[in-house]
Structure 1
């Protein structure tokens, strides 16, 4: 459980915060797009239900759905993420390896548990790039991770240049780690406790191999079986071609996930992951059928939380300080007592 600090005063006031949020978003998306050769595209707010396009996240979250009168009450679903939609878009655009897309995603996750870093409203930069099938390696993944991390560092310095009172804290390099190694090293700690321990030590880490079974039969964290490849052997004694970027948040005294990313499933790894999760019924969906037939581009992609990144860079302690959402009366009252101004 994340505990808010008993004493807190925001570095920037509300008006300054609003201006800084715009500056961060404008700068970061330009940095990301130029670093990874990404072109901006417009994203959907909702997709057709029953096509297998919406993201199941951990496989249990319920999407918001509604009927459309003009389509004979055909049901639509508010997106929970664009992981699969992006791959379809890259395929439709026939992008060459090394080029991709990014978009502003606005999603609703009504089953999310509310706390200082989680909201039912999710705004993030979703990105996806075409890759050569020969680059489906953990080494290529880690090169892209380092590029994304450089964008975070550049944005932090950009902010410091505008607001000198916000000192840079990101370390020079991001530490590459593996979920399986962490379980072996700290078997008595929970996955979250392992994340906190190593992120506090290194300042910024990328934990590789999230979603697949670790050597003890557990998983580090849940991942749906139809976008990230978490089952393929990475060639260095581990499994999984995906992971999370975490940074140390000294105000909340915990690791803060800023990005989840990975190489996407091949037809072979999709089938293996669906079998492991006992979800072979998904093969009847349009997205999964096209993928299994080899009709989709091989891609690598991820998402970077906009409000969470702003929260971290602006040294805020609650995500409600950088986005507008709904909160329980208890949360609002607690924030008021602590001097936390929710937007």
Structure 2
């Protein structure tokens, strides 16, 4: 979806006031279901970090972090892109034990994001991470966690329907698991996004395994930083969004790198110099625990469950004039 598009017959089922109340319900209910299912404790998290620490996520490696100088110290701070690395360090510092984890509200500014119906420069998500053991560092455990998250989403949707029966969102609880390579073999002539669209329209709830590593065509399914997820043990959770008839990514997650896979993936990405950064040194030295973690988009989840056609209907951001005009013409009110 390259630009803002509002389907001709789209009408929101809730007005602005009801939408605000529904967003509160979704966030409170899902947070409780999700934290209980994965045994997570809520913690506070940074909005910005030292850009020289190696903690900030570089996403696809091209996005520019928003940075600013601090008057009192003379230092520079960078607004986080995500908390993927910070969470693992926090589990180590807070002495979390295997089977337990943390979650937090993550708010970020992604200045280089190409905005459309589902992308904004403002990002809000539940970032989470939990300590695992060598015995649970496998795809079966990752799949079990994915199913638990989907179940939490289903339960929140049921609570929402009780409160707002006029808003009915049909979700598929059974998850279709498929590797990025298998998906490529199914639809070799299509782009990665087109492949996602095909498989999600068929199965409705899909988890694509193996994001970041080159596939048999020499290209990765999608970009993923080389220094947090193990590219063989990660994936994206997508669910079918009926109003826009598209595959909506709700979460990306994965089992994190070991010292060995860290060095292998940094070398593959031609950025082995990161091994000199403080975070990477701790990881390479084996000081940090084995973990599994990810992020779940808050606005994305609200957009899905409330059947909204534009992410600006569930969050406050800044939009270009073409977006404002398209939404105004379709009588879509943005926050």
Tell me the TM-score normalised to structure 1 length: 0.96
- For residue 7 of structure 1, report the CA deviation from its aligned partner: 2.4
Instruction: Look up the match of 1:242.
Output: 234
* Structure-1 separation of matches of 2:107 and 2:269: 28
Please name the residue that 1:203 is paired with.
204
Write out aligned runs for 1:78-227 (5 A).
Answer: 78-227=79-228
Match of 1:59 in 2: 61
User: What is the alpha-carbon distance in structure 1 between the residues aligned to residue 8 and residue 259 of structure 2?
Assistant: 51
Alpha-carbon shift at residue 177 of structure 1 (Å): 1.0
Q: What residue is the counterpart of 1:308 in the other structure?
A: 300
2:251 corresponds in structure 1 to 259
1:9 Cα deviation (Å)? Answer: 1.1
- Cα distance in structure 2, aligned partners of 1:148 and 1:302: 11
Unaligned runs of 5+ in 1: 231-239
Contact 1:321/1:341 (CA < 8 Å) preserved in 2? Answer: yes
Residues in 1 aligned to 2:186 and 2:10: alpha-carbon distance in whole angstroms:
35
Paired residue secondary structure (2:229): coil
C-alpha separation between the residues in 1 aligned to 2:111 and 2:156?
30
Q: Does 1:294 find its partner at 2:286?
A: yes
What is residue 11 of structure 2 aligned with on the other side? 9
| Contact residue 169 and residue 307 of structure 2 kept, 8 A | no
Question: Shift of the alpha carbon at 1:213?
Answer: 1.2
Alignment match, 2:70: 68
| 1:327 paired to 2:328 | no
Write the distance in 2 (CA, Å) between the matches of 1:206 and 1:192: 14
Residue of structure 2 in register with 1:282 after alignment = 274
Q: What is the total number of aligned residue pairs between the two structures?
A: 333
Distance in 2, Cα, partners of 1:131 & 1:323 = 34
Q: Give SS of 1:24's match.
A: helix
Gapped runs of 5+ residues in structure 2? Answer: none
Deviation at 1:70, TM superposition (A): 1.2
* Alpha-carbon shift at residue 290 of structure 1 (Å): 0.5
Q: Give me the whole-angstrom Cα distance separating, in 2, the residues matched to 1:120 and 1:270.
A: 29
Report the alpha carbon displacement of residue 165 of structure 1 after superposing the two structures with TM.
Answer: 1.5
SS in 2 for 1:69: coil
